[in-house]
Amino acid sequence: MSLLFLFSCCPPEVVTFPQNVEQVSEIAILCNDNEIPLIPFGSGTGLEGGINAVKGGVCVDLTHMNEILSVNPEDFDCTVQSGVTRMQLNNYLRDTGLWFPIDPGADASLCGMCSTSASGTNAVRYGTMRENVLNLEVVLADGRVINTAGKGRRTKKTSAGYNLTNLFVGSEGTLGIITKASLKLFGIPEATVSAVCHFPDVQGAVDTTVQVLQCGIPIARIEFLDEVSIDAVNKYSKMDMKVAPSLFLEFTGTPSSLDEQAALVADLCSMNNGSDFKWAKDPEERSHLWKARHDILYACMALKPGSKPYSTDVCVPVSKLPEIIKRSKEEITKAGVCGPIVGHVGDGNFHVFFPVDQNNPEELQKIQEVSKKMALMSLEMNGTCTGEHGIGQGKRELLVQEIGETGIQVMKQIKQTLDPKGIMNPAKVFY
Amino acid sequence: MSLLFLFSCCPPEVVTFPQNVEQVSEIAILCNDNEIPLIPFGSGTGLEGGINAVKGGVCVDLTHMNEILSVNPEDFDCTVQSGVTRMQLNNYLRDTGLWFPIDPGADASLCGMCSTSASGTNAVRYGTMRENVLNLEVVLADGRVINTAGKGRRTKKTSAGYNLTNLFVGSEGTLGIITKASLKLFGIPEATVSAVCHFPDVQGAVDTTVQVLQCGIPIARIEFLDEVSIDAVNKYSKMDMKVAPSLFLEFTGTPSSLDEQAALVADLCSMNNGSDFKWAKDPEERSHLWKARHDILYACMALKPGSKPYSTDVCVPVSKLPEIIKRSKEEITKAGVCGPIVGHVGDGNFHVFFPVDQNNPEELQKIQEVSKKMALMSLEMNGTCTGEHGIGQGKRELLVQEIGETGIQVMKQIKQTLDPKGIMNPAKVFY
């Protein structure tokens, strides 16, 4: 499903399918010499138009480079080529007792996830891509190949020189093409339980979240769904939850630590006027619950048959969530559009999944206006205009407001020195 | 205590004590216009000569900028000026139930810790500075002031543009002067217990560590001490531990989860032939144990009265630890020097604390040779030449071997574009 219909479709002139890093390097040299744009393609699941060939050029489709090169179970790391997807890796790891927890929802390619600095529901426990990449192989605009932490290095920490790894994570293909990534892995927790709790308002759900974090409870997931989302989930996934602002929670650990964590969290929920606290201990029930959460995009679209989804995300300090969610809902209502809200509330990050009639330009415009207002509200509240979707084409103007002119100058200086001809994924991140 | 005697002492020509960011910016403009080196000074606790004025110039002593600007308990963050130290912040936070866990041992300034990408005993649980800085205010060589994530922004995650924050973390003052940092805070865990266990060899201790991590036990600290270190600690801190390779462990959480974690770890220790497993549940006993661990530098020096300490650190994938520790001990023995080994074993990181007679140039040379051999062994094993001390003056040659020529070119391109006159902490990180 394409989420990119809001950006004008810009197909590349050529699509290449390199088989190895040497070929990627050759393509880069050829394009650089001839000043032809290069657009890396991972799995096409990004949400801000990152793979559009806005200025034409050559698409470097990395799906053929899909080998899992090594897994080191004792060292909790692995190395994969660019085309390997998140699910492919986790299926491969099944017998090791390990997993790679970063989960943006879609079955994205792991190097694409590096490129956009992806995260998702597990970030509250495991962090985002920024914290989980050990090393990257990158082909630069002029064809040079670097290993950001040095060839073959895969230590959990280092203080050797500039952190090039994290410069390329989140650079959205504008500084180079990621051809290989070494990633951290984690032990699969012994036991898991999930729960749902409903609140009279957003404040109760957020206060509960803050208190859970203050108690140092190692919560695995804590997801907020507003009443519109719950209604959508009930209808789509055949559930009968109370239609109210809700938290979906997941706890992992040893069985008895789970009981303890869970009892504490149940108390916190009820202190904040939460009700209908319901456990899902049984694996089937649990997987039904999280499948419902994962299917929310489809559930939101089903609210409006024939629609396509448009999703935006912002992230604020947790204490500002109640205010920004309240104000966002007011804007959604004022615009007369449908906009269910779903949030990775432990990180202060939330999404609106608008179901859009793409043949209705007026509705499209309203949704873009609401999205922009939300981003501006977030900036007002010390937040960011994009928690996990990146800048791409869609948020370039907002980036300038977020970082400030001088910070943008510095980013552009780095871009200029590494890609002087501006061939790497042009018209993304910056104008 | 100065640890820098191995580097020739290079005092600056001028020491300035700016009171605010505007003054730091004015100093930078003046120095840049006149091509005079600028050397930032935080607390002087770095170990690789980072504050030496190798080419003369102006020291920017940031100790007068020591205000804690804000603490947001609900958002688990704070913002501090450059001179604020780790202990100053944690004392200030005492009533909030929060703390900043990164602890390199010394009472370093927090912006200095940003600058060197510090970590320490808590990194296995909380990560290093790289994972815990939300935003930095930085004065560039030409006096421009940037906020790496945008002014006032303090979200737990963002995917907005290049990760400038992590470019400056670990850049050791060579790209700019950090004048303000926004940092993550954490809830103080409800309960804590510690334990010590002794092993017949390094392998047993490392295998235990790997299994603890595989089981997903949220261990708070797991520290390795070799038999030479244990002997030193016994003598200095008046303890009577078995003189053998040992693990010092710390667990945090709710009381019953601690019992469970601890029982599991005790089993793992005994499976790996660990013996004399001893609990320290009582706060006094626990603090005695960790004080002994923290005092290890002094304990090592007491092994050789009149000596000064020289410390080196490397970091490898955990599975390589037994081999590199064994080979390092062989080199230490062959050189005929005293070199106790202490490691943040959960991260694959370890130190040797050599007590050195600084009037004995032959001994000094031997120790430098052993240190270099250890770094080269680490590089052979996919490791890094510096886990947490940085490059400074001491490891510039090793950095080139670690990163490779092309990666170093990229680092130097970034340096060149942000500091074209090369005034920022010259002769550090690179030649």
Q: Do A295 and A313 belong together in one domain?
A: yes
The closest alpha carbon to A72, from B250, B383, B247, belongs to: B383
Residue A63 has pLDDT above 50, yes or no: yes
Give me the mean pLDDT over the B285-306 stretch: 90
CATH value at residue A144: 3.30.465.10
Q: Which of A172-186, B168-182, B257-271 has the lowest mean pLDDT?
A: B257-271
Which of the pair, A423 or B253, is modelled with greater confidence? A423
CB-based burial, B388-412: b 16+ in 10 Å, e otherwise: bbbbbbbbbebbbebbbeebbebbe
Residue B375 has pLDDT above 80, yes or no: yes
3-state class of A343 per DSSP?
A: strand
The reply to whether residue A159 touches residue B116, judged by beta carbons under 8 angstroms, is yes
Chain B environment of A402 (Cβ under 8 Å)? 150, 153, 160-161
Q: Do A96 and A193 belong together in one domain?
A: no
The closest alpha carbon to B349, from B387, B309, B305, belongs to: B387
Q: What is residue A100's predicted lDDT score, i.e. its pLDDT?
A: 98
Q: Do A175 and A242 belong together in one domain?
A: no
Q: What is residue A1's predicted lDDT score, i.e. its pLDDT?
A: 35
Q: Do B141 and B194 belong together in one domain?
A: no
Q: Do A172 and A263 belong together in one domain?
A: no
Q: Is residue A414 part of a domain?
A: no
Structural domains in chain B (count): 2
A57 and A173 Cβ atoms separated by less than 8 Å: no
The reply to whether residue B256 touches residue A256, judged by beta carbons under 8 angstroms, is yes
Average pLDDT, chain B: 93
Q: Do A324 and A357 belong together in one domain?
A: yes
Q: Do A121 and A252 belong together in one domain?
A: no
Q: Do A205 and A170 belong together in one domain?
A: no
Give me the mean pLDDT over the B93-99 stretch: 93
Positive or negative, the CA dihedral B141, B146, B148, B154 is: positive
B399 → closest Cβ in A161, A385, A390:
A161
Q: What is residue A281's predicted lDDT score, i.e. its pLDDT?
A: 81
Q: Which of A46-55, A173-182, B178-187 has the lowest mean pLDDT?
A: A46-55
Determine the length of chain B. 431
As for the ipTM of the complex, it is 0.95
Q: Which of A5-14, A220-229, B110-119, B226-235 has the lowest mean pLDDT?
A: A5-14
Give me the mean pLDDT over the A121-148 stretch: 96
Q: Which of A253-262, A337-346, B199-208, B300-309 has the lowest mean pLDDT?
A: A253-262
Residue A237 has pLDDT above 90, yes or no: yes
**Domain final residue, candidates A166, A188, A210:** A188
Alpha carbon of A81 to those of A18, A114, A156, A166, A214: distances in Å?
12, 12, 20, 18, 39
Positive or negative, the CA dihedral B384, B385, B389, B392 is: negative
A315 and A378 Cβ atoms separated by less than 8 Å: yes
CATH value at residue B271: 3.40.462.10
**Domain final residue, candidates A188, A212, A247:** A188
Which of the pair, A280 or B131, is modelled with greater confidence? B131
Determine the length of chain A. 431
Per-residue pLDDT tens for A38-61? 999 999 888 888 889 999 999 999
Per-residue pLDDT tens for A1-50? 334 456 777 899 999 999 999 999 999 999 999 999 999 999 988 888 88
Q: Do A224 and A91 belong together in one domain?
A: no
Surface of A (129-148) touching B: CB under 8 A: 130-131, 140, 144-148
Q: What is residue B291's predicted lDDT score, i.e. its pLDDT?
A: 87
B161 → closest Cβ in A77, A164, A403:
A403
Q: What is the C-alpha separation between A40 and A60, in angstroms, rounded?
A: 5
B317 → closest Cβ in A77, A216, A317:
A77
Surface of A (165-194) touching B: CB under 8 A: 166-167, 169-171, 175, 186-190
Per-residue pLDDT tens for A213-227? 888 787 899 999 999
Per-residue pLDDT tens for A65-86? 999 999 999 999 999 999 999 9
Half-sphere exposure of A388 (CA within 13 A, CB side): 29
Q: Is residue A44 part of a domain?
A: yes
A37 and A425 Cβ atoms separated by less than 8 Å: yes
Q: Do B159 and B241 belong together in one domain?
A: no
Surface of A (216-245) touching B: CB under 8 A: 216, 218
The reply to whether residue B384 touches residue A318, judged by beta carbons under 8 angstroms, is no
Q: Is residue A5 part of a domain?
A: yes
* pLDDT band, very low/low/confident/very high, at B372 (cuts 50, 70, 90): very high
| CB pairs A-B closer than 8 Å | 314
3-state class of A318 per DSSP?
A: helix
Q: Is residue A31 part of a domain?
A: yes
Per-residue pLDDT tens for A319-366? 999 999 999 999 999 999 999 999 999 999 999 999 999 889 999 999
Give me the mean pLDDT over the B70-79 stretch: 96
The reply to whether residue A154 touches residue B187, judged by beta carbons under 8 angstroms, is no
Q: Do A228 and A115 belong together in one domain?
A: no
Surface of B (274-303) touching A: CB under 8 A: none
Q: Do A16 and A132 belong together in one domain?
A: yes
Per-residue pLDDT tens for B213-222? 888 787 899 9
Range of the domain at B317: 189-389
Give me the mean pLDDT over the B74-99 stretch: 96
The reply to whether residue A317 touches residue B72, judged by beta carbons under 8 angstroms, is yes
Surface of A (83-112) touching B: CB under 8 A: 97-98
- Highest mean pLDDT pick, A94-98, A300-304, B144-148: B144-148
A116 and A168 Cβ atoms separated by less than 8 Å: no
B385 and B407 Cβ atoms separated by less than 8 Å: no
Contact A113/B at CB under 8 A? no
Mind telling me how many Å the CA of A178 is from chain B's nearest CA? 14
Q: Which of A210-219, A244-253, B33-42, B349-358 has the lowest mean pLDDT?
A: A210-219
Which of the pair, A109 or B8, is modelled with greater confidence? A109
**Domain final residue, candidates A155, A188, A221:** A188
Helices (H), B34-76: none
